[in-house]
Structure 1
Amino acid sequence: MATVPRSDSPMKLDDSRYENVVSPSAKDEMMAMKTGDAALAVLGGGNNRRKVTIQEDRAVRRKIDLWVMPVVLLVYFLQQLDKSSLSYTSVFGIVQETGQSNSHLDIPIHTYAVLGLVGSQYSWLSSIVYVAQLIWQPISSYLLVKLPVAKYLFVHVLMWGVIVASSAAAKNFAGLITARFFLGIFEATVAPAFITITQMWWRRREQTMRLSMWMAMNGGTGMIGSLLSYGLGHIHGRLHPYQTIFLFIGLLTIACSPVVLFVLPDSPIKAKFLTHDEKVVALERLRANNQGTESKIWKWDQVWDLFLDPKTYLWFLLLFVCAVPSGGIGAFGPLIIQGFGFDQFKTILFNIPFNGFQVIVTLAAAYISTRLKLKWPVVFVLTLPPIAGASALLVLGRGMDMKNKLLGCYYVLSFFTALQPMLYTWSAQNTAGHTKKTCTTGVVFIAQCAGNIVGPLLYTTEEKPYYRRGLIANLICWISLAVLTLITACFLSFRNRQHARRRLELGKNAVIIDTSLEEHMGPSASDDGMENVAENDQAFFDLTDTQNEDFIFVL
Structure 2
Amino acid sequence: MSEAPPASVRKERQEQMVESIEIETGNHRRQAHVQTPDKDKAVELLEDVGHSIVLTPENNSRVLRKIDLRILPIILGIYFLQSLDKTTLAYASVFGLVEKTNLVGLQYSWLGSVVYLAQLVVQPLLAYLLVKVPLGKFLAISVFLWGAVLSCMTAAHNFTGLLLCRMFLGALEAGIAPAFIAVTQMWWRRREQPVRLGAWYAMNGITNMFGSLLSYGLGHINSPIFEPYQIIFLFFGLITVGFAATVLIFMPDSPMKANFLKAEDKLVAIERLRMNQQGIKSDVWKWSHAKESILDLKTWLWFAMMFSISIPSGGVSTFGPLIVKSFGFDEFKAILFNIPFGAVQLVATMGGAWLAMVLKVKGPVLTLLSLPPIAGCVMLLCIPHDASQRSALLVGYYLISVYPGITPLIYSWSAANTAGETKKKVTTGILIVIGPTLYTTAEAPLYSRGLRSNLALFIVLVVLYLINMSHLFSLNKSHERRRKRMGKTGKVVDRSMDAVRAVNEGKDDGTGQQGQVDENALKDLTDMENEDFVYVY
Normalising by the residue count of structure 2, what TM-score does the alignment of the two structures yield?
0.92
Q: Which residue of 1 aligns with 2:336?
A: 349
Residue identity in the other structure for 2:241: I
1:146 and 1:76 mapped to 2: Cα distance? 22
Residues 543 and 26 (structure 1), Cα distance of their counterparts in 2 relative to 1, 3 Å cut: farther
Preserved CA contact (<8 Å) 2:136 2:253: yes
1:220-235 counterparts in 2 under 5 A? 220-235=206-221
- 1:545 counterpart residue number: 527
Q: Distance in 2 between matches of 1:261 and 1:205?
A: 29
Separation (CA, whole Å) in 2 of partners of 1:525 and 1:545 = 22
- Note if contact 1:514-1:533 (Cα within 8 Å) is conserved in structure 2: no
* Paired residues of 1:32 and 1:46 also in contact (CA < 8 A): no
2:258 match? 271
After superposition, where does 1:401-420 map in structure 2 within 5 Å? 401-420=388-407
- Show CA shifts across 1:403-428 (max 9, x none): 11101111011111111011010011
Contact 1:387 1:479 in 2 (8 A): yes
Alpha carbons 2:349, 2:405 under 8 Å: kept: yes
Which residue number in structure 2 is paired with residue 183 of structure 1? Answer: 169
Q: State the match for 2:25 in structure 1.
A: none
SS in structure 2 opposite 1:331? helix
Which residue identity lines up with residue 283 of structure 1 in the other structure?
I
Distance 1:25 1:257 in 2: 40
Q: Residue 152 of structure 1: CA displacement? A: 1.3
Letter in 1 for 2:84: L
Aligned to 2:520, the other structure's residue is in SS state coil
**C-alpha separation in 1, matches of 2:257 and 2:34:** 22
CA contact (8 A) 1:37 1:540 kept: yes
Give the Å deviation of 1:373.
0.3
1:261 aligns with 2:264: no
**CA distance change for structure 1 residues 217 and 292 in 2, over 3 Å: closer, same or farther?**
same
Alpha-carbon distance in 2 for matches of 1:237, 1:25 = 67
Deviation per CA, 1:120-162: give whole Å up to 9, x if none: 1000001111111111111011011111111111111001111
In the alignment, which residue of structure 2 is the partner of 1:303?
Answer: 290
Structure 2 counterpart of 1:216: 202
Q: Is the 8 A contact 1:525 1:534 kept in 2?
A: no
Gaps of 5+ in 1: 1-23, 99-115
Q: Tell me the residue number matched to 2:156.
A: 170
| Residue correspondence of structure 1 range 84-233 to structure 2 within 5 A | 84-98=87-101, 116-233=102-219
Change in Cα spacing, 1:155 to 1:491, as seen in structure 2 (3 Å) is same
Alpha-carbon distance in structure 1 between the residues aligned to 2:472 and 2:500? 24
Match of 2:488 among 488, 499, 508: 508
Structure 1 pair 45/547, CA: closer, same or farther in 2 (3 Å)? farther
2:348–2:402 contact (8 Å) kept in structure 1? yes
Identify if the C-alpha distance between structure 1 residues 348 and 285 changes in structure 2 by more than 3 Å, giving closer, same or farther.
same
Q: Percent identity?
A: 48
2:71 paired residue number = 68
Q: Distance in 1 between matches of 2:491 and 2:33?
A: 31
The CA deviation at 1:36 is 1.6
**1:80 matched to 2:92:** no
1:247 aligns with 2:228: no
Tell me the SS of whatever aligns to 1:252: helix
Output the CA distance in 2 between the equivalents of 1:359 and 1:154: 26
Q: How does 1:364-383 map to 2 (within 5 A)?
A: 364-383=351-370
Residues 512, 532 of structure 1: 8 Å contact kept: yes
Q: Does the C-alpha gap of structure 1 residues 48 and 524 become closer, same or farther in structure 2, counting only changes over 3 Å?
A: farther
Q: What is the aligned length?
A: 507
Deviations 1:473-530 (A, max 9, x none): 0001000000110000000000000001111111111111111001225027552556
Per the TM alignment, residue 312 of structure 1 is displaced from its structure 2 partner at its CA by 1.1
* Structure 1 residue 25: Cα displacement: 13
2:127 maps to amino acid: S
Q: In the aligned structure 2, how far is the partner of 1:245 from the partner of 1:34?
A: 47
Q: 1:535 aligns with which of 516, 520, 525?
A: 516
Change (3 A) 1:538 1:47: farther
**Cα deviation, residue 366, structure 1:** 0.5
Give the aligned partner of residue 107 of structure 1.
none
Q: In 1, Cα distance between the equivalents of 2:343 and 2:515?
A: 41
Superposed counterparts of 1:276-295, under 5 Å: 276-295=263-282
Q: Any idea what the Cα deviations from partners look like across 1:384-406, whole Å, max 9, x if unmatched?
A: 11111101111111111011110
Aligned to 1:523, what secondary structure does the other structure show? helix
Shift of 1:26: 8.7
Letter in 2 for 1:405: A
Conserved? CA contact 2:19–2:35, under 8 Å? no
Residues 51 and 524 in structure 1, CA contact (< 8 A), matched pair in contact too: no
Distance 1:538 1:529, change over 3 A: closer
Task: Supply the AA of the counterpart residue of 1:418.
Answer: G
Q: Partner letter of residue 259 of structure 1? A: T
Distance 1:48 1:418 in 2: 41
Contact 1:290–1:539 (8 Å) recurs in 2: yes
Q: Which amino acid aligns with 2:227?
A: H
Cα distance in 2 for residues equivalent to 1:352 and 1:533: 49
What is the letter of the counterpart of residue 438 of structure 1? Answer: K
Contact kept, 8 Å, 2:98 with 2:108, in 1: the verdict is yes
Structure 1 residue identity aligned to 2:336: L
1:384 equivalent in alignment to 2:364: no
Mind listing any 5+ residue stretches in structure 2 that lack a counterpart?
Answer: 1-17, 22-31
1:294 deviates by: 1.1
Matched-pair contact (CA < 8 Å) for 1:198–1:210 = yes
Asked whether the equivalents of residues 34 and 44 of structure 2 are also in contact (C-alpha less than 8 Å), the reply is no
Q: What is the letter of the counterpart of residue 545 of structure 1?
A: D
- Distance in 1, Cα, partners of 2:89 & 2:346: 21
SS in 2 for 1:366: helix
Output one character per residue of 1:58-84: Cα deviation in whole Å (capped at 9) or x when no partner: 000000001111100001111111111
Deviations 1:279-329 (A, max 9, x none): 010000000001111111000010111122111111111111111111111
Please state how far the C-alpha of 1:35 moved relative to its aligned partner: 2.1
User: TM-score if structure 1 supplies the norm length?
Assistant: 0.89
User: Over the residues paired in the alignment, what is the CA RMSD in angstroms?
Assistant: 1.9
Aligned AA (1:173): F
Q: Distance in 1 between matches of 2:511 and 2:528?
A: 25
Shift of 1:535: 3.0
In the alignment, is the contact (CA less than 8 A) between 1:524 and 1:535 conserved in 2?
no
